[in-house]
Amino acid sequence: MAKSLLEIGLDFDDWPQRWMGLPEDIPYGEEIVSIFMPFAEDLLSKGYKDKTVKKHIDNLWLLGGELIREVNMDPDLRNKEALVLLLENIGTYGGPYCSHLEADEEFKSFDSTCRKLFKFLQLTKR
């Protein structure tokens, strides 16, 4: 039987507050989390090892933080739905530049997660 996200120690509940730079980031962060959750659950349902799922979740954490940083840099972006902004930042090439990454392996892992998320969103027509 597949484990739940909570069973492997993954909880998205505090992410919007942890990403927050400004109070108005919280609702936007909650919207981002609502997009990430089905993807994370799909990873679990496919039988990936816990370590692999956690790595993808870590990369989602970074991606969400980059999206929040982007809306703080350009407040007009808050008028876009989070899904639209997300799809403008990920694709078959990977994801946006992430300033928190240093090693090539970290960038490759991050881009891999972004590609998987993009494919998932395309398949689910979300």
The domains of the chain are located at: 15-124
Q: What pLDDT band is residue 13 in, cutting at 50, 70 and 90?
A: confident
With a cut of 80, say whether residue 9 has pLDDT above it.
Answer: no
Q: What pLDDT band is residue 16 in, cutting at 50, 70 and 90?
A: very high
Per-residue pLDDT, averaged over 22-36, amounts to 94
With a cut of 70, say whether residue 8 has pLDDT above it.
Answer: no
Collapsed DSSP state (helix, strand, coil) of residue 95? coil
Per-residue pLDDT, averaged over 29-58, amounts to 91
3-state secondary structure 51-90: HHHHHHHHHHHHHHHHHHHHHHHCHHHHHCCHHHHHHHHC
Give pLDDT tens digits for 87-117: 999 999 999 999 889 999 999 999 999 999 9
Q: What pLDDT band is residue 122 in, cutting at 50, 70 and 90?
A: very high
Residue 110 confidence (pLDDT):
97
Q: What is the Cα–Cα distance from 18 to 30, expressed in whole angstroms? A: 11
pTM, rounded to two decimals = 0.91
| 58 phi, psi to nearest 5 deg | -60, -40
Q: What is the Cα–Cα distance from 66 to 21, expressed in whole angstroms? A: 12
